[in-house]
Every structure is written in C-alpha cells, then in structure tokens.
Amino acid sequence: MSETRTKGIVVGACMLAAGIAYFYVTTGLPRRGAIDAAFFPYALAILMIVLGLLQVMASWRRSPEPADAASQDEIAKATLAADSEDPDIPEGAKPDYLSVVVSLCLIAGFTALMRPLSFPVAAALYLFLQFSILSPAGKPVPHVLHAVLAVLIATFVFLLFRYGFGLMLPAGPLTPYLR
C-alpha cells in the first residue's frame, strides 16, 4: 500500500518539477503585451504546476491507484486491466532495469555511429547486441545465428530504402563503393 502511495507522490513530484522547469524556461521568452508568444507557455506551466500539486496532494491523502480504480466505470476498469497485462513479463518476475539501460545505450550508440560507421554497419552491430541481450534465458544464446540475421537484416533494410525508396541512408566509409 505504501508503495503505491510513494509512487503516486513521486509521479506528482515529477509532474511538479516538469511544470517548474517549463515555467523557468518560459521566463526567458521576450514579452510583447499580455497576449503574446509567452502567454500560452505561462498558462501551460501554471497548469502543470497545479496538476502536479493536485497529484501530490491526492497521493498524500490516499493510495492513488485504488481510488482511481474506484472512480472508473466498468469500461475503463476493463481497459486498464487489459493494458496492464504484459505478456512479456512472466508473473512474479521483476522488471529488469539493467536491460532497459543497456538497450537505451545500444540505441544511443547506434544513432551516434550511424554516420561515422554507415547505417548498415551500425544497424548490424546494434541488432546483434540487442538480439543477444533480449534472447530468452535458460537457453544458449545462438550468437552465429544472431550475427547472420543482424547482417542480413541491416543490409536488406539499407538496400531496400536506398535503392527501392530513394532514401539516402548514411553510407559512411561505404560511400565510394556504392552507386
């Protein structure tokens, strides 16, 4: 129970922080009268701050999730219940945040290396590593299969978009060898 209350307060604090940050950057906008380019950003920032405060207060008073559920009709409850079912996470298993962080780093690496290494090379590297990280536990990771799949998929996507749809994906060092 205390966890949902804490989570609600943390979410509210984040909402509040976002509102304050947006208000702060809005103060840097030039003013040209009451209704100008800063009018809506100020209104939105104030609204975000108020909503953040409301969320914190509501969570402080009671656990937000059961209260929210109580205020919903049958349809909303069923929709929420179905939304919360994630077939990927087996019952009882905890979220693997390390995997999330590593995956985000891999995506960032792929994006950063797209130009210097070329799209197909960066994509093949990303795919190989990401396949291995998400590969089901309890079985040996088929590295060779993953490597072959990564190279084939990256090459196919590159050629399809470059020659099929005329999209000039970064070719990097491969440029001299391509038409």
Partner 1 sequence: MDLFLIGLSNVFAPHVFLLITLGVVVGIIFGAIPGLTAVMAIALCLPMTYGLGPAEGMALLVALFVGATSGGLISAILLKIPGTPSSIATTFDGGPMMEKGEGAKALGIGIVFSFIGTVLSIGALMFIAPSLARVALSFGPHEYFAIAIFSLTLIATLSTGSMVKGIFSGVVGFAVSTVGIAPVDATRRFTFDVVELNAGFSILTVLVGMFAIAEVIKVAEAGRAGHNMTVTAPVMKGIRGFGFSMKEFVGQLPNAFRSSFIGIGIGILPGIGAGTSNILAYIVARNRSKTPEQFGKGSIEGVVAPETANNAGIGGAMIPLLTLGIPGDAVTAILLGGLMIHGIQPGPMLFITQGPLVYTIFAALLVSAFLMLIIEFYGLRVFVKLLAIPRHILLPVILVLCAVGAFGLSNRVFDVWTVLGFGVVGYAFVKGGIPTAPFIIGFILGPMAETNFRRALQLSQGDFTGFMTNPISGAFLGLALLSIGWQIWSGVRSARASPRL
Based on CB atoms, which residue is closest to partner 1, 158 or 176?
158
Choice from 153, 155, 171, 174 touching partner 1 (CB under 8 A): 153
d(CA 61, CA 57): 6
User: Tokens standing for 86?
Assistant: 């994630």
Map 98-132 to HEC letters.
HHHHHHHHHHHHHHHHHHHHCHHHHHHHHHHHHHH
* 123 near partner 1, judged by CB under 8 A: yes
* 11 near partner 1, judged by CB under 8 A: yes
Least distance to partner 1, CB of residue 176, Å: 19
* 114 near partner 1, judged by CB under 8 A: yes
Instruction: Give the CA angle between residues 40, 43, 48 to the nearest 5°.
Output: 120
Amino acid identity of residue 84, one-letter, is: S
Choice from 6, 27, 60, 104 touching partner 1 (CB under 8 A): 104
The residues in 64-93 that bind partner 1, with binding defined as CB under 8 A, are: 64-68, 70-72, 74-76, 78-80, 82-83, 85-90, 93
The residues in 40-69 that bind partner 1, with binding defined as CB under 8 A, are: 40-41, 44-45, 47-48, 51-52, 54-55, 58, 62-68
Helix 39-61 to helix 2-26 angle, to the nearest 10 degrees? 160
Based on CB atoms, which residue is closest to partner 1, 44 or 174?
44
Based on CB atoms, which residue is closest to partner 1, 98 or 144?
98
Q: Is-contact 114 170, C-beta < 8 A?
A: yes
Q: Is-contact 106 126, C-beta < 8 A?
A: yes
